[in-house]
Structure 1
Amino acid sequence: MKKARTLLESFFYAVSGVLYSLKTQRNLRLHFFAAFLVMAASRYLGLNHLELAAVFFAVSLVIVTEMINTAVETTVDMITETYHPLARISKNVAAGAVLVAALNAVVIGYLIFFNRIRPLMTALQKVLFGR
């Protein structure tokens, strides 16, 4: 029978999982960096609470799916050392989930940021190209 964990131990293991993923997964580090930039832009552009919640949820969804992808890939690698078509499918489906989450984040970002960034892009275009 497994020993019951304390809440603090469970929290420690969860943080360890995040840190492991950050240390070993380049894509997750890129996602965290992009998340930082997006959240900074959100603050700079003055998003309202609902917009900020949508952006935060989209960013979190990408990070969560990337971590689930890492868990699936690690588990598959632990179970089989030889090529197996079902192992490939499992890994591809997990990676596909990250892709869907990332596309969702792009759409959310477009819907929320486009009208705020367009005036900046127009001004930049005038400076660069004199139009």
Structure 2
Amino acid sequence: MSQHKYKNKHFGASVRAATQGIVKSFKTERNLKIDLLMAILVIIISCLVHISLTHFMIVFILIGGVISLELMNTAIEQTVDLVTEEWHPLAKAAKDMAAGAVWFFSIISAIIYMMILYDTLS
């Protein structure tokens, strides 16, 4: 198999492939659906309490970070599953670490968002 078989030659093809990956992930991954639901909830609350533009930009960075990490976690899990169908401690560790990255950033994001709400409402 040629190493360039999956490499997109045009920017438009790259954008289509990325979009297909995002759509497939949102269709099949429960956690991405939860992340999207939480993002919508956070945006609604942010609008209702009138957070500042700067805070809104921070919120969007946090949402983008969580969703991006979740997409990477999904890619890592699927790659590990492609490489081995058998249980292996390194495969488990790779999946656990990828999930841990999402969890850690989600917790930090929630803390930052609480700080934004506190600053806005006080």
The offset of 1:114, in angstroms, is 2.7
Taking the aligned partners of 2:8 and 2:19, their CA distance within structure 1 comes to 18
Q: How does 1:58-73 map to 2 (within 5 A)?
A: 58-73=62-77
TM-score, with length taken from structure 2: 0.89
**Which consecutive residues of structure 2, in runs of 5 or more, have no partner in the other structure?**
none
Aligned: 1:81 with 2:85: yes
Task: Tell me the residue number matched to 1:35.
Answer: 39
TM-score calculated relative to the size of structure 1: 0.84
Q: Distance in 1 between matches of 2:107 and 2:58?
A: 14
Alignment gaps of 5+ in structure 1:
119-131
The CA RMSD measured in Å over matched residues stands at 1.6
Q: Distance in 2 between matches of 1:71 and 1:18?
A: 11
Secondary structure of 2:97's partner?
helix
Matched, 1:57 2:71: no
Tell me which amino acid in the other structure corresponds to 2:56.
L
Q: Distance in 1 between matches of 2:14 and 2:36?
A: 23
Higher relative contact order (CA 8 A, sep 6+): 2
